[in-house]
Amino acid sequence: MNAFDYEAPQSVDEAISLLSAGNGNIGILAGGTDLIAQLKEGRKIDLMIDLKRIPEATALSFDEDSGLSIGAATPCSQIYGYDVVQSRYPALVDCTSLIGSIQIQNRGSIGGNFCNASPAADTPPAVIVLAGTCRIAGPNGTREVAAEDFFTGPGQSVLQSGEFLISIQVPTPAANSGAFFLRFIPRNEMDIAVANAAASVVLNSDKTTIQEARVAIGAVAPTPLLVADAGAALEGKAVDDEEAIEAACAASRAAARPISDMRGTIEQRIHLSGVLTRRAIQGAIQRAKES
C-alpha cells in the first residue's frame, strides 16, 4: 500500500472543498470494506477523505412524512438493528444482514455499497424496489437521483467530480405493502451474488390484488436493473395469479444481459433471474399479507 494523505472533514461543505481542491486520485472512506481491500490490492490514491465525522453521513432517522434517511456511511449492522427498519423495511434487513460477516456489517455501509457500484452489489435492488433515492452533495448544492438511475456501469455511477453520496432516502411504505430481497450464492454466507432480486408490492385493502409492484435484479447486467415490465406484469393481477408471476419472471429473464465468469454462466444467471424474481415476488406478497 502506498502512502497517502488522510482528511476527516466535519461538515458537508468541508468535504466538498476538500474534494474540489484535491489533486490526483481521491478515495472516499466510509466503512472501508471495499476501499481498503482495493488499496491492499494495488489501487493507488493520493488523498483519503473519511466521511464518518460528518453528522449527516452517519445519521439514521425515520419520519412518517419524509421516510427513512440512511447516512451514506451508516454501517449495515446499525441499519438492520434499527427497530423502524426491522418493522417497516424488512427488505433492507434482508440485504444488509447478508453482506459479508458480522465484522464487515459493523463497518460496511449502503452508501459504500452504492458508490463501489459492483453489478453484484446486494443493497441496490432492495433500495430500488422501495423507490429509494440517492442524495448527492456537490459544489453546486445537493441533488437527488433515483436509486435505479445512480449506476452507469461496473464501478461507475452518476457521481461527478467534486460530488459525494451523503445519504439514501427511502419513502415510508404504503399500507398493505411488502418487499423482499434475496440472492443466490453457492455457499450459505460470505459470498458474492451469482444473481440477486428484490420485489415490492402494494396490495388492495382486502389483500387479494396487486395494485403496484416493482422488481429489480442484480449481478445480471453491468448495473442493477429496475425491471419495469416485471412490475407492470403484476399490477392489477390477483396475488395468486401464476400466469402474471410467470410473466414477471419472463420479464426479468428478458432484461438480464449477464456475462459468464467463474461465479456463473450466462445461461445460469438468466435462469436464476427468473427463479429469484419468483421467490422475491412471493416473499413480498407474503409480507404484504402479514402487514
Partner 1 sequence: MATKTEDYLGITDYKVIGTRPIRHDGVDKVVGRAKYGADIDMAGMLHGAVVRSPHAHARIKSIDTSKAEALAGVKAVITVDDLPLQEDKIEDLGEGAANLQHLRANVLADGKVLYHGHAVAAVAATDIHTAQEAVDLIDVEYEVLEPVLTVHEAMQEDAPLLLEDQTTQSLGEDTGQKSNVCTHFRHELGDVEKGFAEAELVIEREFDTATVHQGYIEPQNATALWGADDQITVWCSTQGAFTVREQTAQILDVPVSQVKVVPMEIGGGFGGKIRIYLEPLAAIMSRKTGRPVKMVMSRTEVLQATGPTAGSFIKCKMGVDKAGKIVAAYAYMAYESGGFPGSWAAPGAMCIFAPYNIPNVLIDGYEVLVNKPQTMAYRAPGATNAAFASETIIDEICEQLDVDPLEFRLQNSAREGTRRADGPVYPRIGNEECVKTALSSEHYAAQLSGKNRGRGIASGFWFNVGLKSSAAASVNSDGTVSLVEGSTDIGGTRTSIAMQLAEVLGIRAEDVKPQVVDTDSIGDTDVTGGSRTTFATGWAAYQCALDIKEQLIERAAKLWEISTDDVVFDDGTFSSSDSSKTLSFKELSGMLDETGGPVMGRATVNPSGVGGAFAVMIVDIEVDTETGKVEILRVSMIQDAGKAVYPSYVEGQMQGGTAQGIGWALNEEYAYNGDGLLTNASLLDYRMPTCLDLPMIETHIVEVPNPGHPYGVRGVGEVPIVPPAAAVANAIYDAVGVRMTNLPMSPGEVLKALWAKNGGNGTA
The residue ranges that bind partner 1 (CB under 8 A) are 1-3, 184, 186-192, 194, 253, 261-265, 267-268, 270-272, 274-275
d(CA 276, CA 55): 37
d(CA 68, CA 61): 6
CB of 192 to partner 1, least distance (A): 6
Query: 73 or 272, CB closer to partner 1?
Result: 272
Beta strands in 139-240 (DSSP E): 141-146, 151-153, 156-157, 164-170, 177-184, 195-203, 210-218, 225-226
The C-alpha cell 388492495 sits at 204
Using DSSP, state whether 191 is helix, strand or coil. coil
Query: 130 or 245, CB closer to partner 1?
Result: 245
Query: 127 or 185, CB closer to partner 1?
Result: 185
Using the Cα atoms of residue 279, residue 94, residue 172 and residue 218 in order, give the sign of their dihedral. Answer: negative
CB of 268 to partner 1, least distance (A): 5
Q: What are φ and ψ of residue 107, in 5° steps?
A: -115, -50
CB of 189 to partner 1, least distance (A): 5
Burial 99-128 (b: 16+ CB within 10 A, else e): bbeeeebebbbbbbbbbbbbbbbbbbbbbb
CB of 60 to partner 1, least distance (A): 28
CB of 188 to partner 1, least distance (A): 4
CB of 80 to partner 1, least distance (A): 17
Q: For 83, which DSSP code?
A: H
Query: 214 or 253, CB closer to partner 1?
Result: 253
Angle at 162 between CA 106 and CA 59, to 5 degrees: 30
Query: 187 or 290, CB closer to partner 1?
Result: 187
Query: 141 or 186, CB closer to partner 1?
Result: 186
